[in-house]
């Protein structure tokens, strides 16, 4: 069965949470799901994790509120189909297709909920007490970086608009890095810092 590309939404009661399902994932169903990825269980598990990671990215990019939950829901739906006897030739592509359908459900079903959610999003985070904690955590995490990396991340994000672009160009020249390589290096440092800050914030 090829990956469904239809954009027709699956009708769900508006009050019912999109991410819930009456069908429960059993061990047998999960084993069949894994087996559909690859005969070897270890290889199947690896592909399962890769597909799950892509699902999370997809739901995130598409503006869905709970990417991980949506990913799990997607796997549930695919596992159900397989356990009911549906033959799937390309499980990874099939899963992505199901996810895209789920995205449409989520967008439509949560349009009203998003209005209230938007109010929360537009709240001034800087007035949040957590912001000060986040500042302190970020300074701590910055100091844990090597001097070279610390200087890189600070230099990369200094300045506004055109000054920032020129500053990054000069930084790349000084470090001997192409601008794309500098961008990727700053990206990895930023993600590392963000994980460090979130861990620090959660620890209180």
Least distance in angstroms from the C-beta of 144 to another protein? 14
Stretch near another protein under the rule CB under 8 A, chosen from 13-21, 33-41, 75-83, 164-172 = 164-172
Q: 31 or 110: whose CB is closer to another protein? A: 110
Residue carrying the six token digits 């009708």: 11
Of these, 62, 72, 145, 200, which contacts another protein (CB under 8 A)? 62
Whole-number Å distance between alpha carbons of 55 and 49: 10
Residue carrying the six token digits 């302190």: 136
E strand map for 92-180 = none
Assess contact for 126 and 159: CB atoms under 8 A: no
Whole-number Å distance between alpha carbons of 131 and 146: 25
- At 25, give phi and psi (nearest 5°): -75, 120
Interacting residues toward another protein by CB under 8 A: 5, 7, 54, 57-67, 96, 100, 114, 117-118, 121-122, 125-126, 128, 130-131, 134-135, 138-139, 142, 154-155, 157-158, 160-161, 167, 170-171, 173-174, 183-184, 187, 190-191, 193-194, 197-198
């Amino acid at each position: 069965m090829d990956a469904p590309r239809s954009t027709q939404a699956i009708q769900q009661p508006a009050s019912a949470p999109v991410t819930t399902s009456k069908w429960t994932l059993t061990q047998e169903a999960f084993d069949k799901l894994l087996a559909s990825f690859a005969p070897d269980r270890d290889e199947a598990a690896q592909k399962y994790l890769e597909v799950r990671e892509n699902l999370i990215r997809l739901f995130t990019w598409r503006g869905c509120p709970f990417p991980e939950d949506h990913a799990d829901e997607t796997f549930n739906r695919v596992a159900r189909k397989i356990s009911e006897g549906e033959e799937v030739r390309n499980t990874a592509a099939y899963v992505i297709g199901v996810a895209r359908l789920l995205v449409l459900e989520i967008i439509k079903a949560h349009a009203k909920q998003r209005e209230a959610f938007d109010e929360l999003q537009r709240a001034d985070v800087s007035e949040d007490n957590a912001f000060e904690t986040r500042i302190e955590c970020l300074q701590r995490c910055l100091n844990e970086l090597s001097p070279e990396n610390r200087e890189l991340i600070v230099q990369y994000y200094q300045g506004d608009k055109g000054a920032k672009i020129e500053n990054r160009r000069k930084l790349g020249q000084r470090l001997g890095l192409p601008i794309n390589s500098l961008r990727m290096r700053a990206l990895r440092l930023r993600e590392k810092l963000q994980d460090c800050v979130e861990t620090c914030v959660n620890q209180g």
